[in-house]
Amino acid sequence: MVASKGSPSVSSARSPKKPPKTTPKAKRKATRRPDKDDESENEYDSDALDEDSDDELKSKKKRKRTAEGGNKTRSLKKKKTVDTDDEEFDLQDGQEIIGVVVKAPKTGIVPAGQISKNTFDFLTQLGDPKCNDREWFKLHGRSFSFSRVSFLIFPTDPVFRQAEKEWTDFVEVFTDLLVEVDDQIPPLPPKDVIHRIYRDIRFSNDKTPYKQGFSASFSRSGRKGIFAVFKPGDRSLIAAGSWCPGKNELATIRSNVQRDSTRLRQIISDPTFVKYFGEPKAGARRNIFGREDELKVAPKGIPKTHEDIDLLKCRSFCVSYVFTDAQVLSPDFKTTLSEMATVVRPFVHCLNDMMTVVADAEEEDEDEE
């Protein structure tokens, strides 16, 4: 059978050819470019919007950090200096001046070895409870703080620093005089004999942080023996002896008193000693008697009829003499102190010997054995 001429053309129209298979690379080449309608659809695509917002947020944070870094590195510039102690500063946002440190006085300066009225004025203010706190002392002392939100304006020489240096110079000069009077006292530097101005408030009901005066101690071992303290209001004093000795030291003193009290009684009865410290009679605050810690009854193991019961009741063996402010501020006050040290020297040496075991007592113990 012979097919007609149109048969092949009819069969090809009814079964179209399948498109040729393409590789992934060919697909990418064959992808057509989006037209304007497709672009408008992408503009409202939610995923695209999220990506854009994240990029904008990151860029904003970066700009913010850069701005903050620039503020930190920018230094404070003095805007204007006026004739008074106050100065104007160009403050950053959030900064404020919390205080101006008080400058040390430029008048009334005294040479080394003297105490000035400037120092007494500072200590007088420190004695006021309203001033005896850390904030007031920060503005009158040598400490200061600086932070991003607040700062102190401070001079190079605050009040306390000047007063402290004056006291250090006085102690240094007085030590030179003292070692000439008493050869048992070593020539230690001021830092080894001066007491801190900060109070130990751990076990005290009085929580004021600072002492109301300057003080120092001089002895064979450093901060014991002769004690000097300077307080305004006629409260400056010099003291000598042993205040509240340890248990073993007190027992040794009492043992030596029971053995022989002659030397101690002669010293505290000397006319010059009595002139400054009073008669050596128990029952009142004078000489070495009448201290707050004095016993009311005889010590344990000692009869109350003992001939030296007045000495044996003592728990502190010390004396003190008070000076007026006028005496302290006088140019020759250091000489007055050295004269007082001459008066108390025999008393201090006697106590130093009585707080050690006497050789004669050791020999007696050996003989008894």
Q: What is the pLDDT along the chain (369 residues), one digit of tens a residue?
A: 444 444 444 344 444 555 555 554 444 444 455 554 554 444 444 444 445 555 555 555 555 555 555 554 444 444 433 333 445 556 666 666 555 566 667 777 889 899 999 999 889 888 888 887 777 777 665 544 444 444 444 444 478 888 899 999 999 999 999 999 998 899 999 999 999 988 888 888 888 888 989 999 998 765 457 889 989 999 999 999 998 888 999 999 999 999 999 999 999 999 999 999 999 998 888 999 998 889 999 999 999 999 999 999 999 999 999 999 999 999 999 999 999 999 999 999 999 999 886 545 555 555 555
Res 40: pLDDT: 47
Res 64: pLDDT: 54
| Contact present, 327 and 336 (Cβ < 8 Å) | yes
On the 0-12 / 13-18 / 19+ scale of CB atoms within 10 A, 213 is buried
Res 334: pLDDT: 94
Whole-angstrom distance, CA of residue 62 vs CA of residue 306: 90
Tell the residue number behind the tokens 């002492």, with chain if given.
211
Query: Terminus-to-terminus CA distance in the chain, angstroms?
Result: 160
Bridge partners of residue 216, in order along the sequence: 194, 228
3-class DSSP assignment, residue 321: strand
DSSP H or E stretch at residue 89: strand 87-89
Cα Rg for the chain, rounded, in angstroms?
A: 44
Q: Does residue 234 come out as left (phi exceeding 0), alpha (psi in the -120 to 50 range) or beta?
A: left
Sign of CA dihedral 219, 224, 229, 234: negative
| Contact present, 141 and 86 (Cβ < 8 Å) | no
Whole-angstrom distance, CA of residue 304 vs CA of residue 312: 10
Angle at 56 between CA 52 and CA 58, to 5 degrees: 120
Res 107: pLDDT: 77
Whole-angstrom distance, CA of residue 323 vs CA of residue 340: 11
3-class DSSP assignment, residue 320: strand
Res 42: pLDDT: 47
Res 130: pLDDT: 83
For residue 315, how many other CB atoms are within 10 A of its CB?
Answer: 17
Largest CA distance in the chain: 169
3-class DSSP assignment, residue 48: helix
Claim: this prediction has a pTM higher than 0.75: no
Res 203: pLDDT: 87
| Contact present, 289 and 281 (Cβ < 8 Å) | yes
Whole-angstrom distance, CA of residue 65 vs CA of residue 73: 12
Res 265: pLDDT: 96
Res 41: pLDDT: 47
Nearest to 212 by CA among 139, 154, 163: 163
